[in-house]
């Protein structure tokens, strides 16, 4: 069976104590650098994180300092690709935790590949990401499960399931979850399809892995072109263990800054309340210096009505 979010958060003990709802008015208005967003629910305490590649600076410690100064609660790394000792030093010197990592090779070395050697390498890279993330105190590894270009769905679906399952014993040993991201990978949705698609295939895919160590790192902006993110959140329900956040404009058919788009943010926030989500929200937009990162942190607060 798939985990409930509470079961997952109990495993991620480092975050559990920080999650609490704030006491505020039932109706609130967010207005930061853009149009008002009318939220109908109380502000909520989510934990903001961001991708390490968004942060400018020389050396990991300085990049950690910049993220913390901008108002972020954690940072996500890329693995394979980081030095464990260097990261431990940055954590110790800044007090900023690593909440997770992104499997850095999943676009090039896929679990859906028809080549057995490629799939074996994908598994090794995923296992390294799990070990490295555990070594620096994180609790999730974001994974793109494969590419639709690797073959018909009838082949790549079972092929990727079989390969990813081989990593689950290590997930259980280390207490690290695999967080599947919904991306434009031509798999589990219709890439050239309409804008009213559902999350049904993502639900089925996660459930087929049938593990308390697998869930979704649901990217709010990624599939606004293809479906209603609030409806997807409700369909995924307890499977959502983490969020990615970015902006997308249907009108312009292009990416945008968070809240400088046409996403229905108030509906998204209400859907998160409906499924009882509390946890980490990871920015994935163009980064920069502390000033730029501070703007992004404030945009996340506005989009999700974070107290």
pTM: 0.89
Which pLDDT score, from 0 to 100, does residue 33 have? 53
- Which candidate, 69, 47, 39, places its Cα nearest to that of 241? 47
- Which candidate, 56, 45, 50, places its Cα nearest to that of 19? 45
Which pLDDT score, from 0 to 100, does residue 70 have? 98
The total of other beta-carbon atoms located within 10 Å of residue 19's CB is 16
The total of other beta-carbon atoms located within 10 Å of residue 134's CB is 19
Which pLDDT score, from 0 to 100, does residue 41 have? 77
- Which candidate, 217, 218, 215, places its Cα nearest to that of 228? 218
Angle at 67 between CA 237 and CA 143, to 5 degrees: 40
Angle at 80 between CA 63 and CA 206, to 5 degrees: 105
Q: Are strands 37-39 and 28-30 parallel, antiparallel or unpaired?
A: antiparallel
Which pLDDT score, from 0 to 100, does residue 247 have? 97
Instruction: State the 10-residue block means of pLDDT for the chain, 307 residues long.
Output: 44 41 42 72 88 97 98 98 98 98 98 98 98 98 98 98 98 98 98 98 98 98 98 98 98 97 97 96 98 98 93
d(CA 208, CA 202): 10
- Which candidate, 166, 173, 162, 177, places its Cα nearest to that of 208? 162
Which pLDDT score, from 0 to 100, does residue 7 have? 46
All structural domains of the chain: 5-18+28-304 (3.20.20.150)
In whole angstroms, how far apart are CA 67 and each of 54, 87, 89, 237? 9, 14, 15, 30
CB contact at 8 A, 189 and 223: yes
């Amino acid at each position: 069976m798939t985990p409930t979010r509470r079961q997952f958060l109990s495993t991620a003990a480092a975050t559990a104590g920080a999650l609490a709802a704030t006491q505020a008015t039932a109706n609130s208005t967010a207005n930061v650098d853009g149009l008002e967003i009318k939220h109908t629910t109380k502000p909520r305490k989510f934990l903001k994180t961001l991708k390490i590649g968004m942060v400018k600076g020389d050396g990991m410690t300085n990049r950690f300092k910049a993220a913390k100064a901008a108002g972020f609660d954690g940072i996500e790394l890329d693995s394979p690709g980081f030095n464990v000792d260097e990261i431990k030093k940055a954590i110790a010197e800044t007090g900023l935790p690593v909440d997770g990592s992104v499997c850095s090779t999943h676009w090039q070395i896929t679990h859906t590949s028809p080549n057995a050697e490629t799939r074996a390498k994908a598994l090794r890279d995923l296992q390294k990401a799990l070990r490295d993330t555990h070594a620096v105190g994180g609790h999730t590894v974001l994974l793109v499960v494969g590419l639709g270009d690797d073959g018909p769905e009838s082949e790549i679906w079972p092929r990727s399931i079989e390969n990813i399952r081989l990593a689950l014993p290590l997930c259980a040993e280390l207490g690290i979850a695999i967080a599947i991201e919904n991306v434009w990978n031509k798999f589990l949705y219709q890439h050239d399809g309409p804008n009213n698609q559902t999350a049904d295939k993502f639900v089925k895919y996660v459930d087929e892995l049938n593990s308390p160590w697998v869930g979704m790192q649901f990217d709010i902006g990624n599939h606004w072109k293809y479906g209603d993110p609030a409806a997807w959140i409700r369909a995924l329900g307890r499977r959502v263990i983490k969020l990615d956040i970015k902006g997308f404009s249907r009108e312009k058919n292009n990416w945008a800054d968070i809240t400088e788009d046409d996403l229905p943010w108030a509906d998204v926030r209400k859907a998160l309340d409906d499924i009882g989500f509390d946890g980490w929200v990871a920015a994935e937009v163009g980064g920069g210096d502390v000033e730029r990162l501070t703007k992004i942190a404030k945009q996340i607060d506005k989009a999700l009505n974070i107290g």
